[in-house]
């Protein structure tokens, strides 16, 4: 009999197909479903493909327009001027720094040589007491002079002048002490006189004092004796100070006379060429070292660097860029714009970046300065730099011609022989980089017409707020210059105008350079002689001499009588 199953036994596990069979069954089930019918084209108003193409083209056009707008906003017309000026100034600083380095080394050699010579000379130089008793002989090299017979006359004079300066300083110090002692003597004398008066008065009334108050006389006697001792002490100090002063003055005068005599005799013998003293050489060396260090710091700050490139790049040029609009807000000066008085603002030095830099002073050719932009930089380096740059480009076709040349090509022929050379001829070159004439009168902070207070358009007229050449209302000096400007900058309205006044509604176009002194009358109405305004003064004298105010109404001439003869 078979065994009966145990009640707690587990049922057999159900068969489960593998995952591959499940996936296959799922695919068969999906394929058995009815297929989805394609959407008919009539359900959309526009073609989807055409819409995508139109969206892509319009987006691309907007991107191009945005980039063009971005470039137009960034590529301002004044930036090439500042960029080129920065290149020129950088090269100039580089050249000056090297020249100063050479001068410092030269001064070091001179000072080292003088140190050795003066040390040898001072070892044989006698004491001041012996020198003061020496009599100058007729011959410079006589043995009785307080200098070695074979010593150099120049070294004599250097040492003697330096000693004389030391004694002169000591003399000034003693003079101050003597003045203080004299003051103390005068005060003591006044006090002593008052005490003496009281003492004599008390003696005169001695009998009355003894009867009334005997101690009164003793009191005045003690006070008088005390003041008399102070008086004697002050007199002694004054005498000592005067003796010390006389001694120092004597020694100083001796060395001063001795140095003058040595210089005089050395000149007669043809041995003296007026060299600088040892201390003067040291002072000059210190000044040159400081100037060189300043140039080096400026060179490091202005040289092309990644930081400056980033600061001037589009989108990041608001982080203290080196290329920026420069403007002067002139409080107290007004411009009339649309029937409103607004504060005058000048941005002229945004392009004229070297307007206040004495290094960029120029001289004009009298025969061509008014007709063409022909100038000569006074600085030898800049003159050579411009000439060599001009030989590599057509200067008549660009405003900033140097910006299109390779700096290494310019620098190489100039420095290969250790010096910058130029012919000195006038170069046709934009005058935008030059400094303003007569910086002692105009533009500089120390002048009578500082740019921060007076500006530019108060004299030159034009639109000082704009920074575009064709918008600031420049006026050429001649039709020939106007034609050159049109070829360079273009004609906005396509018209041939020799007066260069494209802004028809601007009331005050810029004066031509030769007529800029006409604006002097705004302030100098009563001037008879005017430095820097010679043409204006000559014109006003002509008005008075001819009598123009007799027929024409001229302010400040209305009170003058008309000549009816």
Rounded distance between C-alpha atoms, residue 259 and residue 265, angstroms: 10
Please state the domain extents for the chain: 46-74, 125-275
Burial of residue 149 (CB within 10 Å: 0-12, 13-18, 19+) is exposed
> Which residue bears the tokens 């101050």?
176
Task: Give the residue among 356, 413, 347, 417 at the shortest CA–CA distance from 385.
Answer: 413
Region of poorest pLDDT, from 215-219, 336-340, 352-356, 478-482: 215-219
Region of poorest pLDDT, from 109-123, 205-219, 340-354: 205-219
Rounded distance between C-alpha atoms, residue 400 and residue 356, angstroms: 19
Query: Can you tell me whether residue 475 is helix, strand or coil?
Result: coil
| Angle at the Cα of 97 from the Cα atoms of 92 and 98, rounded to 5 degrees | 100
Rounded distance between C-alpha atoms, residue 217 and residue 279, angstroms: 65
The answer to whether 281 and 158 have CB atoms below 8 angstroms apart is no
Is residue 63 pLDDT above 90, yes or no? yes
Q: Average pLDDT, stretch 35-43? A: 55
* DSSP category for residue 433: G
Give φ, ψ of 96 to 5 degrees.
-60, -40
| pTM of full prediction above 0.85 | no
Sign of the alpha-carbon dihedral angle for 508, 510, 515, 521: positive
Q: Average pLDDT, stretch 116-133? A: 51
Is residue 160 pLDDT above 50, yes or no? yes
Q: Write down the pLDDT at residue 506.
A: 82
Confidence of residue 121 (pLDDT cuts 50, 70, 90): low
Q: Write down the pLDDT at residue 367.
A: 46
Confidence of residue 394 (pLDDT cuts 50, 70, 90): very low
Q: Write down the pLDDT at residue 84.
A: 83
Task: Give the residue among 105, 102, 125, 124 at the shortest CA–CA distance from 113.
Answer: 105
Q: Average pLDDT, stretch 286-304? A: 77
Q: Write down the pLDDT at residue 265.
A: 57
Q: Average pLDDT, stretch 11-33? A: 62
């Amino acid at each position: 009999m078979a065994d009966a199953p145990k009640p707690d036994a587990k049922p057999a596990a159900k068969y489960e197909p593998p995952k591959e069979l499940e996936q296959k069954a799922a695919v068969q089930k999906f394929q058995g479903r009815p297929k989805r019918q394609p959407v008919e084209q009539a359900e959309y108003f526009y073609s989807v493909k055409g819409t995508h193409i139109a969206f892509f083209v319009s987006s691309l056009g907007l991107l191009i327009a945005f980039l063009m707008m971005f470039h137009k906003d960034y590529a301002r017309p004044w930036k090439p001027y500042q960029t080129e000026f920065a290149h020129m100034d950088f090269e100039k600083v580089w050249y000056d720094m090297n020249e100063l380095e050479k001068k410092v080394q030269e001064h070091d050699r001179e000072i080292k040589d003088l140190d050795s010579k003066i040390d040898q000379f001072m070892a044989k130089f006698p004491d001041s007491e012996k020198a003061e008793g020496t009599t100058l002989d007729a011959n410079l090299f006589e043995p009785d002079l307080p200098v070695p017979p074979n010593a150099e006359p120049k070294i004599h004079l250097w040492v003697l002048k330096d000693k004389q300066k030391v004694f002169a300083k000591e003399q000034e110090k003693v003079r101050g002490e003597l003045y203080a002692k004299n003051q103390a003597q005068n005060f003591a004398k006044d006090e002593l006189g008052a005490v003496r008066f009281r003492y004599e008065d008390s003696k005169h009334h001695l009998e009355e004092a003894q009867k009334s108050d005997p101690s009164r006389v003793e009191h005045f006697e003690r006070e008088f004796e005390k003041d008399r001792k102070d008086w004697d002490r002050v007199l002694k100090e004054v005498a000592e100070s005067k003796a010390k002063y006389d001694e120092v003055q004597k020694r100083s005068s001796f060395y001063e006379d001795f140095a003058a005599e040595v210089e005089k005799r050395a000149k007669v013998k043809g041995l003296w060429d007026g060299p600088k003293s040892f201390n003067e050489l040291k002072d000059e060396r210190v000044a040159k070292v400081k100037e060189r260090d300043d140039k080096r710091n400026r060179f490091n700050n202005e040289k092309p660097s990644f930081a400056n490139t980033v600061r001037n790049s589009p989108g990041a040029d608001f982080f203290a860029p080196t290329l920026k609009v420069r403007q002067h807000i002139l409080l107290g000066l007004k411009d009339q714009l649309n029937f409103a008085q607004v504060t005058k603002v000048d941005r002229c030095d945004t392009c004229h970046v070297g307007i206040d830099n004495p290094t960029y002073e120029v001289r004009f050719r009298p025969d061509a300065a008014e007709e063409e932009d022909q100038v000569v930089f006074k600085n030898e380096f800049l003159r050579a730099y411009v000439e060599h740059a001009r030989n590599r480009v057509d200067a008549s076709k660009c405003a900033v011609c140097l910006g299109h040349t390779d700096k290494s090509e310019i620098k190489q022929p100039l420095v290969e022989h250790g010096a910058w050379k130029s012919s000195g001829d006038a170069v046709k070159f934009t005058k935008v980089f030059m400094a303003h004439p007569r910086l002692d009168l105009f533009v500089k902070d120390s002048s009578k017409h500082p740019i921060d207070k007076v500006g530019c358009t108060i004299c030159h007229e034009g639109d000082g707020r704009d920074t575009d050449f064709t918008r600031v209302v420049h006026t050429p000096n001649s039709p020939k210059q106007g034609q050159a400007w049109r070829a360079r900058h273009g004609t906005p309205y396509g018209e041939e105008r020799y007066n260069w006044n494209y802004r028809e509604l601007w009331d005050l176009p810029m004066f031509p350079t030769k007529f800029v002194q006409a604006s002097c009358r705004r302030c100098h109405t009563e001037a008879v002689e005017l430095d820097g305004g010679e043409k204006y003064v000559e014109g006003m004298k002509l008005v008075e001499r001819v009598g123009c105010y007799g027929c024409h109404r001229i302010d400040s001439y209305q009170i003058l009588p008309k000549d009816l003869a």
